[in-house]
């Protein structure tokens, strides 16, 4: 099975969180019908949404009426969930959504493919991936940038060895590099 590289993890993270929601929802506003109240067989025109739902789904306004009913229902269900999240969590998600919106279609497609691959990992593989990601982000910024440049210079077939490469070049708690890479 292919291993994931830390450099694609930001895209994976964006893909995961973009699925949560698209824009803020004011919890004080009166809610519209919940997704469970909406039949998956009936489309909901944009102007039939509550003000809170329209605010939350605003980035999708231009496309909303073209979405199939099942997708509208899914997004409305996510909007209902959004209202229950604490403000700090919503802000973090907003930032990641903004990142997702700035991605090119090719980057988004790559993020979706990374997510599909991630979902096929065993729990142990996911744990190793998260550990490698954490180790990578503990490195000083200059060292991370250098390692990323080296990774991009590698042929695709050698990129699978990336977690071991990062491990060889990580800094111990004292802050001194364990290799010549500085």
| pLDDT tens column, 142-158 | 999 998 898 888 888 77
Q: Residue 52 — φ and ψ, nearest 5°? A: -65, -45
Residue-level pLDDT at 42 = 84
The pLDDT value recorded for residue 112 is: 94
pLDDT at 126: 93
Residue 158 pLDDT: 78
Which parts of the chain have pLDDT scores under 50? 1-9, 11-30, 38-39, 173-174, 176-182
Distances (CA, A) of 24 to 52, 58, 62, 93, 130: 9, 9, 17, 9, 28
Alpha-helical regions (H) of the chain: 9-18, 51-56, 61-64, 69-82, 87-102, 105-119, 123-138, 141-153, 162-169
- pLDDT, position 108: 94
DSSP category for residue 122? -
Spatial separation of the C-alpha atoms in residues 12 and 103, rounded to whole Å: 12
How many CB atoms are closer than 10 A to CB 133? 19
Phi, psi of 176 (to 5 degrees): -100, 140
Domain spans, the chain:
6-16+93-169, 26-82
């Amino acid at each position: 099975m292919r291993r994931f590289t830390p450099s694609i993890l930001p895209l994976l993270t964006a893909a995961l969180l973009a699925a949560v929601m698209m824009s803020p929802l004011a919890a004080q506003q009166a809610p519209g019908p919940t997704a469970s109240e909406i039949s998956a067989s009936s489309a909901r025109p944009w102007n039939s949404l509550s003000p809170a739902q329209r605010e939350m789904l605003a980035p999708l306004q231009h496309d909303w009426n073209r979405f199939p009913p099942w997708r509208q229902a899914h997004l409305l269900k996510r909007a209902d969930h959004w209202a229950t999240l604490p403000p700090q969590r919503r802000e973090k998600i907003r930032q990641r959504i903004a990142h997702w919106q700035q991605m090119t279609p090719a980057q988004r497609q790559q993020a979706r493919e990374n997510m599909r691959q991630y979902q096929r990992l065993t729990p142990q593989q996911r744990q190793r991936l998260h550990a490698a990601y954490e180790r990578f982000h503990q490195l000083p910024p200059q060292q991370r940038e250098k390692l990323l440049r080296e990774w991009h210079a590698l042929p695709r077939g050698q990129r699978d060895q990336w977690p071991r490469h990062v491990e060889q070049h990580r800094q111990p708690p004292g802050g001194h590099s364990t290799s010549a890479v500085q």
